[in-house]
Amino acid sequence: MRLAATAMGYALLAVVRVLTGAQARWHGCPPKAEQRIYFANHQSHADLVLIWAALPQELRSITRPIAARDYWTASRLKQWITTEVFNAVYVERERKGDEDPLQPLMHALDSGDSLILFPEGTRGFEEDPQPFKSGLYNLALRFPDVVLVPTWIHNVQRVMPKGEVVPVPVLCSVTFGEPLKLGPDEPRADFLARARLAVMALREV
């Protein structure tokens, strides 16, 4: 099973690079094997795949994308890919009872994993990200030593727009920006607005 997952990972990596180029731009931080949260704009189901493909292998092996459970477990193939290839962290998009939707993310961070996070919570139609939800703030508060890296995905909405299922070849890139830190006693709304602006600023890099 592990060999099959490894082979599938290489195959997906090759396909993504053919379709998009999956170019990585490190602007303000180098690729480094430290515990990080990469937080990015979100316009396509291909987003997590593109960031994963843009990371060097030594970072891919320690970085887990966040995946919506309802979508990514809807078929056996999707579930197998996200579990065995991406080692994704599944999250519920709707709170169920008293369950904390951040618990799987906190467990992953407690285990030393890095994460790929989309703070909007859902894909958007506009180029500008939607307002960020509170999850990023709560994780920054709970894990102050984890490095927060703003990330901008260029052009992926043209590869697989919302509502489409067949990708088309378009040159894409992922820009990783200068890390952010939660300021002492910084209000949640201020931090989330600052984090969103940090992601948007990478659009011009």
What is the reported pTM?
0.85
Per-residue pLDDT tens over the stretch 26-36: 998 999 999 99
User: Is residue 4 pLDDT above 70, yes or no?
Assistant: no
- The structural domains of the chain, with segments of one domain joined by +, span 2-204
Alpha-carbon gap, residue 179 to 95, rounded angstroms = 30
CA–CA distances in Å: residue 174 to residues 6, 27, 80, 190, 193: 23, 10, 25, 25, 21
Alpha-carbon gap, residue 30 to 36, rounded angstroms = 12
Beta bridge mates, 180: 148
Looking at 3.30.1360.120, 3.40.1130.10, 3.40.50.2300, 3.20.20.140, the CATH number of the domain 2-204 comes to 3.40.1130.10
Alpha-carbon gap, residue 38 to 105, rounded angstroms = 13
Mean per-residue pLDDT, 181-201: 96
Rg of the chain over Cα atoms, rounded to whole angstroms, equals: 16
Mean per-residue pLDDT, 167-193: 86
Alpha-carbon gap, residue 156 to 135, rounded angstroms = 24
Helix (H), strand (E) at residue 106: helix 103-110
Query: Could you tell me what percent of the chain has a pLDDT over 70?
Result: 77
